[in-house]
Structure 1
Amino acid sequence: MNALWWLALPVLLLPVWWHRRKREQHQAVPLATARFLPRTEPRQTREWRWNDLFLLLVRCLLLACAIAWLADPVMPWRGDTVIVAAGTDPQWADKQAAQAGLAQAERVTLPAARAIGFLRAHEREWRPEARLLVLGDIPMPALVPEFGRRIELRTLAQAPSKDERRVHIVSERAEQWRRVFAAQGVAIDETPGEQTALIVWDRADAPPPSLRAPLWLVTHIAAFPELDKAAQVGGLRYADSPRGRLWHSAAWPPQDVKAARNLLEDWQRLHLGPLAYTAPPRVFAASPAVRAPEPSGALRGILMALLAALFVLERILTHARRR
């Protein structure tokens, strides 16, 4: 629908019409010999004011830029492209590109989570005959994306990163808490530091204000006033505080292996977020029903800057013309 704004180009005739209809009034000045001349009334005459041609040109350019900004023009300039997710095995990527006949194509490296969104937002930048290949550990989107061109996706799942999660425990039942985390390979910090991701506070007194961590497991609500009116989800209370995010459950510490596993699963699900699954390889066929993406791009920003500059220049010239 954006391209329909080009139909408004005839409005460029408005500044020409406005300048054309300007009238210049001639004032009659009495002369001594005026009585010998036929009497005529003062009148207005229409004439082109080409002396302000520059102002006319600026106004036409102002309207043209406004129409172009609304139409959101995009000049297709990209050719065959291979989009590679960051961290992908280079040898595997070279092999897949060669098999697809795109060994000499342009390479674009993006974070895996941004690859599909980047294609959707910049789809119009590729020429109609361009071929696109996406490689790497691309996470499966919630909905199957649709594109206005053919796009091939080849994925390779990477081994999950072994991010070490470090826990600091403050409790009179420290050994019981240690058994909970030891089965999951979580490192225990005797002294909390910048790498500490979780603090277990199993005491009735409040922690020192300087003690901070992204996540807290709290057993006594009285030590944390933020939990008095905290929201609940799945039997857990949670609240954000200057110290970090607080979680509380009356069932802590876990009494058996199943409860300990549930505790760590809640940690993953509610705080770290769900795990991403690799999308299966597939070919996205061109869909004629796909709507154009939202207006965006460097050209649109340039047009907005040019539009603002022309508006300021037009106001200056108009003010100077009236003086």
Structure 2
Amino acid sequence: MILSSYPMWWLALPVLLLPVWWHRQKRQRLKAEPLATARFLPAATPEQLRVWQWRDKVLLVLRCLLLLALIAWLAATIFPWRGDTVLVDIGADKAWAEKEIAAAGFGVARRMDLPADVLQWLRQNERDWRPTAKLLIVARADQIAMPPRVPQFSHQLALRTQPPPAAAKKVTPVVRDVALGAPAARSGAWRSLFAAFDSAGTAAVRHTLAAEPSAGTTLIVWDTPDTVPPANWRAPHWWIAAMPAAFPELAKVSTLTINGITLKYADSPRGRLWTSDTFPPRDADAARALYEAWQLLAAAPAPTYATASQTFAAARNTPSAITDAKPATWLALALLALFMIERILTHARRH
């Protein structure tokens, strides 16, 4: 299998029609000899008839194979041709970008628009650059995420990132809907608990309490003794503080202890059911421990950190290989052999 680095070369396949056209034409020279008796015949303009026929079929096939091998070799072979290059983020401040480019000594280098996921793109296309070429990336800080590992390149790469504006970004709070199924005598403690959660937590998370769940409800608190919750109530999580007998799934529970809080949970068609002897918390210490335990259970997305300005030295001797690619050396040898055979047959035909 040949993996083409430059598949556009395969568009040159129509070139194979040239030897076909060449061999279809009659290229035999006819030698005319004057006859003595021809002077008694009326003069006539000589006519030449072009006859289309296949000639030298073996040589034709050989030349077609020669062109095909040449196209395949060009499509699979890598020719580093790029020199010093600057990859510029079009959204970056132009004055700042020009200053950084001049300071890095890339004033006359060729420029390219910054591709998406530039570090990964460079690892895949680094073979296009000559061994002595250097690269410079000029971009905004939030356009290049910090990779989990220090990337390694075969060329020296300088990264210059524009710091974000001084004004802090406005954080949009994440609202978590909570359905509170509790009578008035018990709801006060739960409302105080979630108010404390909002005060102790970050400004990016806020809880809203409602009497019934909605499509966006993430938690249902059930603290109504001697009452079974409606069958249509659904949520990813339930806190069961009263009437656990109404939930037969709690007969077989798993136990988890976090931050001194013992939690029992079981999965059900209505959501994951949680219960604990600490529901609802009876003092501030218990509420704080429950909050910290619940935060440890919550799956928070890992933040994306911007890559700071830095320079990556050439850490690899050779560019990264093309995945699943096989060397094109055999194509070069086949091309040379076909060329030699074609020359030998052409010489033999002439003599």
Tell me the TM-score normalized by structure 1: 0.51
Aligned residue-pair number: 236
Alpha-carbon distance change, 152 to 165 in structure 1, aligned in 2, over 3 angstroms: same
Q: Look at both structures and tell me which one has the larger radius of gyration over its CA atoms.
A: 2
Give the 3-state SS of the residue equivalent to 2:118 in structure 1. helix
Counterpart of 1:73? 78
Residues 1:287 and 2:307 aligned together: no
Counterpart of 1:22? none
**CA drift at 1:162:** 1.8
**CA drift at 1:237:** 9.5
Alpha-carbon distance change, 120 to 92 in structure 1, aligned in 2, over 3 angstroms: same
Give the 3-state SS of the residue equivalent to 1:162 in structure 2. coil
Between 1:250-259 and 1:279-288, the stretch displaced more is 250-259
Alpha-carbon distance change, 252 to 109 in structure 1, aligned in 2, over 3 angstroms: farther
Distance in structure 1 (CA, Å) of the matches to 2:107 and 2:230: 62
**CA drift at 1:123:** 1.5
Alpha-carbon distance change, 88 to 265 in structure 1, aligned in 2, over 3 angstroms: farther
Counterpart of 2:126? 123
* Mapping of residues 1-323 of structure 1, within 5 Å: 50-51=56-57, 55-64=61-70, 71=76, 73=78, 75-77=80-82, 79-84=84-89, 92-102=96-106, 106-110=111-115, 114-127=117-130, 128-137=132-141, 138-156=144-162, 158=164, 162-171=171-180, 172=182, 173=187, 174-175=190-191, 176-183=193-200, 184-185=202-203, 186-189=205-208, 199-203=218-222, 205=229, 208=232, 216-220=236-240, 250=276, 255-257=286-288, 259-261=290-292, 263-264=294-295, 266-267=297-298, 270=299, 272-295=300-323
Alpha-carbon distance change, 53 to 102 in structure 1, aligned in 2, over 3 angstroms: same
Identity of aligned residues (%): 22
Amino acid in structure 2 at the alignment position of 1:115: V
Alpha-carbon distance change, 80 to 202 in structure 1, aligned in 2, over 3 angstroms: same
**CA drift at 1:187:** 3.6
Alpha-carbon distance change, 287 to 58 in structure 1, aligned in 2, over 3 angstroms: same
Give the 3-state SS of the residue equivalent to 2:315 in structure 1. coil
Distance in structure 2 (CA, Å) of the matches to 1:135 and 1:101: 17
Counterpart of 2:340? none
**CA drift at 1:149:** 0.6
**CA drift at 1:260:** 2.2
Alpha-carbon distance change, 181 to 218 in structure 1, aligned in 2, over 3 angstroms: farther
**CA drift at 1:148:** 0.6
* Runs of at least 5 residues in structure 1 that lack an aligned partner in the other structure: 4-47, 297-323
Amino acid in structure 2 at the alignment position of 1:118: W
Distance in structure 2 (CA, Å) of the matches to 1:140 and 1:239: 39
Task: Please tell me whether the aligned partners of residues 236 and 247 of structure 1 are also in contact (alpha carbons under 8 angstroms).
Answer: no
**CA drift at 1:258:** 5.2
**CA drift at 1:224:** 11
**CA drift at 1:208:** 3.9
**CA drift at 1:118:** 1.9
Spell out, residue by residue over 1:90-114, the C-alpha distance to the aligned partner (whole angstroms, 9 max, x if none).
6544443343244675252355xx2
Between 1:283-292 and 1:248-257, the stretch displaced more is 248-257
Spell out, residue by residue over 1:86-143, the C-alpha distance to the aligned partner (whole angstroms, 9 max, x if none).
87566544443343244675252355xx232122222223344343234332433222
Give the 3-state SS of the residue equivalent to 2:114 in structure 1. strand
Amino acid in structure 1 at the alignment position of 2:81: P
Alpha-carbon distance change, 90 to 273 in structure 1, aligned in 2, over 3 angstroms: farther
